[in-house]
Structure 1
Amino acid sequence: MKWLFAAAALLGLTGAAPAAPQGDAPLVLTAMHLHDPWIVADAASKTYYLFTRNEAAMSGDQRLGTMVYASRDLKHWSKPKLAFVLPAGLWAKAGSWAPEVHRWRGKWYLFTTFHNPDLPLGKNGTRATYRRGTVLAVADRVDGPYRLVRGGEPIVDGSLMTLDGSLYVDPKGKPWLVYAHEWWQTTVGTMEALPLTDDLAAAGSPQTLFKANDAPWAVGQKQSNGDVVYVTDGPELYRSKTGTLLMLWSSYGQKGYVEAQARSTSGTIAGPWEQLGPLV
């Protein structure tokens, strides 16, 4: 799962703009439906935009997609509107998980994960696998509306059951999709990276960065069929002020669901990746 992207606050927008009037922004975080939220700090408009899966109870719209809240101070938020709606007739039927929004070459791009249990991919033991993957949509404005790219086909090969795709741009300006290869298909979940073209399409084969059970703190989850599985969720890459390349990611530890970090000892996406342990 994605976690609230704290790096948004680093742009200092809170100090650059007054708090939004509560009449225009009546909501606080505890009153908002949030599932894998992602924040963009937009310097041009001095506004924070929080993206999450659409919830009809908040937006008043039943359609499958992504909604967005807006704030000037990270405390008071507007009522949400739909930034993206999945068009009817596509392969996907459910999901809209873990939206991310990134600026790339003059446009805004939305990455979000969908699935369809009625489109089988075969079996992993007794588990029937099915299509799941991150799709791409584009907009001229950060708050949308977003339209699908390449007909809504997943960025990663559709035979792979993947989720939580995240854009990473390396120091040479080359884009990558970093994502979790789902434990449902692999038993031991992996974190993988796919090189992309400049139009954010696949440009080669995926590379495995690490497995969930490479982390000494990770605890396998026993399933009803007797399998012990290891979860990989929610990769986020971040380069520190000292140049260290870090990844936030999630799995299960001794006390439940954990947000942890890993470090690339080479400073590149290829790693090797050293597991640093739980944060939260």
Structure 2
Amino acid sequence: MKSILLLFVCGFTTLYLNAQPQKKIAGKSGNPVFPGWYADPEGAVFGKTYWIYPTFSDKYENQVFLDAFSSSDLTHWTKHERVVDTLNFKWAKKAVWAPSIIKKDKKYYLLFAANDIQSDQEVGGIGIGVSDKPEGPFRDHLGKPLVDKFHNGAQPIDQFVFKDKDGQHYLIYGGWKHCNIAKLKDDFTGFTPFANGKTFEEITPEGYVEGPYMFMRNGKYYFMWSEGGWTGPDYSVAYAIADSPTGPFKRIGQILKQDPKVATGAGHNSVIKHPGKEQYYIVYHRRPLGETNGNHRVTCIEKMEFDADGLIKPVQITFEGVDADAIK
């Protein structure tokens, strides 16, 4: 009985210690990279500054704004509060999720989902804000959602804006296990149909749940997404590679998942590439060990590497994070 009790105490102690914030190592980002409950992070680089735009992770009714974080080296982060506020988007009332930002013609466009609509009869969907600065404040670009209906079964959430090599911008989005791609107009006020007449093409790969992200490397299109349930330990990231932004995308495998010694529910990622070299980072959220609140998610960063065939190597989640890496 004493042996069983000792094992229980030791196991609980290990779980408790792993769930606590780890002491930051000098020259390392540490994980999470900044304090607070934040999820669905989008990483970006503007000039010589790294940015992360996450969801404020709380009850839906409290998710009425977005904060942003900037850094010159990935290790020291400055918080910019309420870069998006629903006070400036009259149709958005709650559940402001998964920002995606892009710079175009000296303007910054930030897209987000709001209201968690469950049908075409509800008000909400994907909105778009515009600002002269990456730290906002962002004002409503349209005065209404950019996407406010279900197309091909995709809930209008988890948006990502991808710029192709020919300058065409695409909106890639979707929850409820469906993913769409659409060609944005040059002024981001709507969409241009594809050659086949469709506005929303479905590109859902096997295993897709939500959280799409796309980037190019060596002429190939890498498509990443989240699998599993967002409140569960099985939340993870998988990917595919194609020769076109519209695919077809055949699932290659999973590259980010929980580590029972570090954290659970590792998913909903984006990617940051250092603009001066071939160095990639994966930005994602996870849930601290021992945490039972589904909304307790924190933002983390790890190095992302490729093998000789261009496949993404499995990512090991850590407490240490990444080395300082300034943009010179």
Q: TM-score, normalised by structure 2?
A: 0.58
* 1:207 aligned partner, one-letter code: E
Q: CA deviation at 1:120?
A: 4.8
- The reply on whether 1:121 has 2:120 as its aligned counterpart is yes
In the alignment, which residue of structure 2 is the partner of 1:105?
A: 105
Extract unaligned runs of 5+ from structure 2: 1-26, 194-198, 257-328
Q: CA deviation at 1:69?
A: 1.9
Against the structure 1 CA distance between its residues 232 and 173, is the aligned structure 2 distance closer, same or farther, given a 3 Å change threshold? Answer: same
Q: 1:263 aligns with which of 233, 241, 245?
A: 241
> Quick check: which has more Rg, 1 or 2?
2
User: Counting strand residues as a fraction of each chain, which structure ranks higher?
Assistant: 1
* Cα offsets for 1:155-207 (capped at 9, x unmatched): 22435531111111222211110011x32xxxxx2111011110112223100
Contact 2:119 2:150 (8 Å CA) reproduced = no
Distance in 2, Cα, partners of 1:150 & 1:89: 9
Q: 2:41 aligns with which of 25, 37, 42?
A: 37
Contact 1:237 1:245 (8 Å CA) reproduced = yes
- The reply on whether 1:53 has 2:55 as its aligned counterpart is yes
Contact 1:63 1:85 (8 Å CA) reproduced = no
Against the structure 1 CA distance between its residues 28 and 70, is the aligned structure 2 distance closer, same or farther, given a 3 Å change threshold? Answer: farther
State percent identity of aligned pairs: 24
* 1:268 aligned partner, one-letter code: S
Distance in 1, Cα, partners of 2:75 & 2:138: 26
Q: CA deviation at 1:68?
A: 1.3
Extract unaligned runs of 5+ from structure 1: 1-18, 20-26, 57-61, 123-129, 184-188, 219-230
Distance in 1, Cα, partners of 2:183 & 2:245: 10
* 1:167 aligned partner, one-letter code: V
What is the number of residues matched between the two proteins?
213
Contact 1:131 1:158 (8 Å CA) reproduced = no
* 2:238 aligned partner, one-letter code: A
Against the structure 1 CA distance between its residues 196 and 30, is the aligned structure 2 distance closer, same or farther, given a 3 Å change threshold? Answer: closer
Distance in 1, Cα, partners of 2:179 & 2:84: 27
In the alignment, which residue of structure 2 is the partner of 1:235?
A: 212
Against the structure 1 CA distance between its residues 74 and 203, is the aligned structure 2 distance closer, same or farther, given a 3 Å change threshold? Answer: same
* 2:54 aligned partner, one-letter code: T
Q: CA deviation at 1:28?
A: 6.7
Q: Say which structure, 1 or 2, has more relative contact order (CA 8 Å, 6+ apart).
A: 2
| CA root-mean-square deviation | 2.8
* 2:222 aligned partner, one-letter code: L
- For residues 214-229 of structure 1, the aligned pairs below 5 Å read 215=206, 218=207
Contact 1:250 1:259 (8 Å CA) reproduced = yes
Q: TM-score, normalised by structure 1?
A: 0.67
* Cα offsets for 1:76-117 (capped at 9, x unmatched): 222442211112673332111111111112211101110155
In the alignment, which residue of structure 1 is the partner of 2:248?
A: 272
